[in-house]
Structure 1
Amino acid sequence: MKRRLSRYFTFVLCCLQMISFAQSNAMPNILFIAVDDLRAEVISPDNEVIQIPNIRKLAEESVLFNNHFVQVPTCGASRYSMLTGMLPKKKKHLKNYIIEKDIADGNEKREKPETFIEHLKRNNYYTVGIGKISHSADGFVYGYEDEVTDKRELPNSWDEVLFDSGKWETGWNAFFAYADGSNRQSRKKQVKPYEEGDVSDYGYPDGLTIDLAISKLKELKGSKQPFFMGVGLFKPHLPFNAPKKYWDLYERNEIPLAKNVEQPKNSSRGGANNSGEFNQYLLGEEKANAKNPVSNDYAKKLKHAYYASVSYIDAQIGKILEELEALELDENTVVIVWGDHGWNLGEQSIWGKHNLFESALKSALIIKVPGAKNMGVNYDGLVSSVDLYPTICKVAGLEIPYELDGKSLTPIFTKKVKKHHDKVYSFFGNGASVRTERFRLTHYKIKGEDFYDLYDLKKDPNEIENVADVHPKVVEKLSKDLNIKRIQN
């Protein structure tokens, strides 16, 4: 009886702490930083090579989620799930164009908010979007090589949509930018997938984005209205371009290669991937394909480029966090750093994200809630991108407007929570995947046939061998979950 009462009072105390935070801070500001292609491994405390002092400092003051998984390993679809708090239900939800087709093209005022950002806006938040928060590089709908339009991708979510395209002139040109002002499109893909630019931080677009965000923070400082600021950073998305000083942080020979460069043993081949996005960069020294890994020398060069891009982003994040503190906004601003998916750096012979392996599905997530008790924690439980919508509602003190597929992470901010989800789900192409604490089961439908890949992550964290034949009962049990969650046409 005493033990049950103790647990009850502990639970009540944790709830009161969160309520106290929301009330004493009257609705906190929220700084949401979305980083393209930021895999979880590079910000892990176990990675001793990566140079990211600002992200490390933030993580020490926050909850660092070691097992955060996205719903779809491609930009637009992943962001759609995160923004709506919903798992994909149909094939169209797996496509990069889903935000444009489902939200921008249906821009009448909805009863339900189009995203959690609109829900904040409906509840007195001033919302500012800078850079890539939805799929569009600058928040407007137009093709890679077209003129910029005034059609917003999220028409009801933002009070302001801002972007500085600099010498690149459009958001999409800036997204694929090279230091001389050209871009992948203008050079007809006759480019390398990396560049060591002899330029300052402003020689690539993310430096301009952070400068714009800092200027806006200064404007918002005097407002009595709480703000949500979304800042979308492009790197380390391809091309892996960064100023030379960030390349110089690394000795290339010290950068480790992937431990699992071959396709998995006994694999159904459903996960085979020829790295189509990566191979668009036609001047790359080697082409990646599912059958043959690239050479070790080229793999190290590419990984060096990716790491340099991450260090460049770390410096930009450091600038805005420093300004947040200088403006004395840090004590009432929730900070979230979110990677929209991971990226295979040679694992399974893949250079890219369009697959259902751990490297593509596990991405970075850090959340700092000032005043919450349980900060400075590395959390190992399974969490999912759809959890962000209810989490943001809770820290803002708002009701969740409709039933979501995610579950609020706020209990983790105030007490020790061993398990958040038993299972998390991800989807891509003709595949569906379920992740438990120990296993990942992925089902592929190939020419009408069913194939199952099972990885025992406790024994084989690098997904080197498919053990579906060794654990038929596990396959049977988890496949029932996948059938329930199956994507419809």
Structure 2
Amino acid sequence: MRFIISLISLGVTGLIVPGIASPTAKGSRDMNILMIMVEDWSAFAIGAYGNSVVQTPNIDRLAKEGVRFDRAYCQGTVCNPSRASLVTGLRPDSTRVYGNGEAMDRVVPADAPSLARVLKARDGAWLGNIGKLVHRWDEAQRFGVGFDLNEYTHHYDILENFAGEQRPVPAPPGVSVWAEDEALLLPEPHGTRLRELQAEREARKAAGEADTWELRKRFQQYHAEMIGYSGLPEEEMEDGRIARRTVDLLGQLARRQDGKPFFLSVGFYATHTPLLAPKQYVDLYDPAAMELSPAQPEKDVGVPAVARRMGRNYDIFNGLYPQFAQTPEREREALAAYYACATYVDAQIGLVLEGLEAAGLADNTIVVFFSDHGFQLGEHGMWSKFSLFEQSSRVPLIVRMPGAAGNGRVTDAMVELVDVLPTLAEWWGLPRDPRWEGDSFAPLVQQPAQPWKEAVFATIPISGLGRMVRTPGWRYSEWRKDTGLPGKSAPVARELYDLRKDPLEQINLAEDPAHAPQAAAMAARLQAGWLAARPPGKGR
């Protein structure tokens, strides 16, 4: 297994000592930015965030060298709304992206900010993306405008109105460039069955049927149940190819002679279903040794059904195929597979960080790492994302800026992914867009202990819409259904958890008379929204 190699062996000198600012460090306006984003990676499945079982040495090292954010949250606990907020700096009520079904090009306002266009205002900067940034590039084409290079591993037709270079991430000879084909190579019987299901879908499409979710479901939900050994070596899997291509590109960027900074977004997938990894990572985790979450559904007190998705899983353990029933034995297998995927993607990030060092770019590049949302690992009987529980809404976030005074420290400040675009802009000296609904957390990289936001917010569309407000000690949620009347909705359920005493959110206090004042205060905070919770001095 290959992890980060010694910096001494790379011949790198003049390293930044964590927590001590370099007297020669340039201002952030002249630094490159490497943004690493991973799908579905739970903060609870990273060593640096307290998990003593999973092996994530590269992210652990990054956390020691940079600033680890312990209270970072997404705006929607599924891919599309979270990423829409990331690339616009707007919240779901403004992007109008609440779930995975909305196409960004169709619903996001035409004049909304766009990450690539914002950063392109940095004179002469080169912008690139490898892997996943938005949910679907074919449904978010205008958000690719501004990138000089966009490489991806999922099949799309050529994107229109895209001035830069666009192409698939290269694959080794004889290997398909499209990630969708990886699962078709699974060991028997699964590879055969997936090919059969795919053939059924293609035949029905050829007969004139629309490619709806109902048509895709049988293939995609069988696909989601696949766990364990992928049958492929890491260099041929999607994330392995993305990592190696990124290393090649960093070497090319290091040879540029124009003195202008670059922004490179790298999107990895491995902790998303299907939970498949190369054999050397799968072999690290014995399913029999896995301990299931203590937050089992029979221990929940007053937790509303809507908060637990009415007992349904939409991804792994989706219930469509009886042979993949949610038994304790299979849950342990899934947990081991998830950890294997975490270690696999950690190793790929390690390769990228090695490449950054080897190219001589580490001392002039800001590295920002996060995931788009979390992942339920059996808590409340739930798997995958798509809930308002802490396991879905909380994300890992680490920033390593050369020379930053906060390096080597941890911050409890509450931040959100909607804050990322304002932060990137501030690092490059670009003006704040007045439409943004997040605040730059750049000051926290220098002074991690300063007062910051009072609350963070998220939404999810289940039986209407669930809305959450999270403060340092409490989480409050309201679930409402649309009545069909303008501006009117009917309450379905409420939640209130004291996370200081109940970190697994198993005792709902919303209807407890003794906690009525706290419930009312949190309801008022939810109603007041993000503007009333901004950091000090940000114009509440």
Paired with 1:148 and 1:408, the residues of 2 have a C-alpha distance of: 33
Structure 2 residue corresponding to 1:196, chosen from 224, 229, 233? 229
Matches within 5 A, 1:88-487: 88-89=92-93, 92-98=96-102, 100-102=104-106, 114-123=113-122, 124-136=124-136, 148-151=156-159, 159-164=164-169, 166=171, 169=176, 171=178, 173=180, 179=186, 186=198, 188-189=219-220, 190-191=222-223, 192-223=225-256, 224-262=259-297, 264-273=300-309, 274-279=312-317, 285-287=323-325, 294-429=326-461, 430-446=465-481, 448-470=490-512, 471-485=515-529
State the SS of the aligned residue for 2:347. helix
Shift, 1:22, TM fit: 5.4
Task: Check the 8 A contact 1:193/1:281 in 2, yes or no.
Answer: no
Aligned to 2:537: none
Paired with 2:384 and 2:252, the residues of 1 have a C-alpha distance of: 39
Task: Check the 8 A contact 1:128/1:161 in 2, yes or no.
Answer: no
Task: Check the 8 A contact 1:178/1:204 in 2, yes or no.
Answer: no
Paired with 1:68 and 1:171, the residues of 2 have a C-alpha distance of: 32
Comparing 179-188 and 43-52, the one that deviates more? 179-188
Paired with 1:382 and 1:179, the residues of 2 have a C-alpha distance of: 42
Task: Check the 8 A contact 1:432/1:442 in 2, yes or no.
Answer: yes
**Which letter does structure 1 place at the counterpart of 2:507?**
E
State the SS of the aligned residue for 1:453. strand
**TM-score relative to the length of structure 1:** 0.84
Task: Check the 8 A contact 1:247/1:304 in 2, yes or no.
Answer: yes
Shift, 1:403, TM fit: 3.7
Shift, 1:306, TM fit: 0.3
Aligned to 2:76: 72
**Which letter does structure 2 place at the counterpart of 1:270?**
V
Structure 1 residue corresponding to 2:41, chosen from 38, 41, 49? 38
Question: What per-residue deviation string (whole Å, max 9, x for no partner) do you get for residues 42-98 of structure 1?
Answer: 124421111111111111111111111100011011001111111111583212254
Paired with 2:155 and 2:137, the residues of 1 have a C-alpha distance of: 13
**Which letter does structure 2 place at the counterpart of 1:35?**
V
Paired with 2:126 and 2:337, the residues of 1 have a C-alpha distance of: 37
Aligned to 1:9: none
Shift, 1:421, TM fit: 1.1
Identity percentage of aligned residues:
27
Question: What per-residue deviation string (whole Å, max 9, x for no partner) do you get for residues 13-44 of structure 1?
Answer: xxxx8999553x65211111110001111124
Paired with 2:139 and 2:96, the residues of 1 have a C-alpha distance of: 20
Paired with 1:420 and 1:177, the residues of 2 have a C-alpha distance of: 48
Paired with 1:278 and 1:165, the residues of 2 have a C-alpha distance of: 29
Comparing 124-133 and 159-168, the one that deviates more? 159-168
Paired with 2:438 and 2:182, the residues of 1 have a C-alpha distance of: 30
For the structure 1 residues 285 and 57, does the alpha-carbon distance in structure 2 shift closer, same or farther, using more than 3 Å as the test?
farther
**Which letter does structure 2 place at the counterpart of 1:85?**
G
Question: What per-residue deviation string (whole Å, max 9, x for no partner) do you get for residues 147-190 of structure 1?
Answer: 631126xx66x844443274675656158675579978737344
Shift, 1:364, TM fit: 1.5
Paired with 2:139 and 2:350, the residues of 1 have a C-alpha distance of: 24
**Which letter does structure 1 place at the counterpart of 2:511?**
D
For the structure 1 residues 412 and 105, does the alpha-carbon distance in structure 2 shift closer, same or farther, using more than 3 Å as the test?
closer
Aligned to 1:57: 61
Coordinate RMSD, CA, aligned: 3.0
Task: Check the 8 A contact 2:285/2:336 in 1, yes or no.
Answer: yes
Task: Check the 8 A contact 1:435/1:441 in 2, yes or no.
Answer: yes
Question: What per-residue deviation string (whole Å, max 9, x for no partner) do you get for residues 385-416 of structure 1?
Answer: 11111211122222223342212112211124
The ranges of structure 1 where at least 4 consecutive aligned residues each deviate by more than 6 angstroms after the TM superposition are: 17-20, 137-141, 180-185
State the SS of the aligned residue for 1:30. strand
Paired with 1:90 and 1:164, the residues of 2 have a C-alpha distance of: 33
Aligned to 1:28: 31
Paired with 1:169 and 1:361, the residues of 2 have a C-alpha distance of: 34
Paired with 1:194 and 1:115, the residues of 2 have a C-alpha distance of: 36
- Please list every run of 5 or more consecutive structure 1 residues that lacks an aligned counterpart in the other structure: 1-16, 288-293
Comparing 272-281 and 209-218, the one that deviates more? 272-281
Aligned to 1:291: none
Question: What per-residue deviation string (whole Å, max 9, x for no partner) do you get for residues 426-472 of structure 1?
Answer: 00011000001111001011583342111110000001110112311
Question: What per-residue deviation string (whole Å, max 9, x for no partner) do you get for residues 463-487 of structure 1?
Answer: 111011231111112212323449x
For the structure 1 residues 452 and 312, does the alpha-carbon distance in structure 2 shift closer, same or farther, using more than 3 Å as the test?
same
Comparing 64-73 and 117-126, the one that deviates more? 117-126
Task: Check the 8 A contact 1:426/1:432 in 2, yes or no.
Answer: yes
State the SS of the aligned residue for 2:324. coil
Task: Check the 8 A contact 1:128/1:160 in 2, yes or no.
Answer: no
Paired with 1:129 and 1:160, the residues of 2 have a C-alpha distance of: 10
Aligned to 1:14: none
State the SS of the aligned residue for 1:473. helix
For the structure 1 residues 441 and 105, does the alpha-carbon distance in structure 2 shift closer, same or farther, using more than 3 Å as the test?
closer
Shift, 1:139, TM fit: 9.1
Shift, 1:234, TM fit: 0.9
Comparing 342-351 and 173-182, the one that deviates more? 173-182
Comparing 341-350 and 409-418, the one that deviates more? 409-418
Shift, 1:126, TM fit: 0.7
Question: What per-residue deviation string (whole Å, max 9, x for no partner) do you get for residues 235-287 of structure 1?
Answer: 11000000010011223344321120216311222212211222458557434
- Please list every run of 5 or more consecutive structure 2 residues that lacks an aligned counterpart in the other structure: 1-20, 142-153, 200-218, 484-489, 531-540
Shift, 1:122, TM fit: 2.3
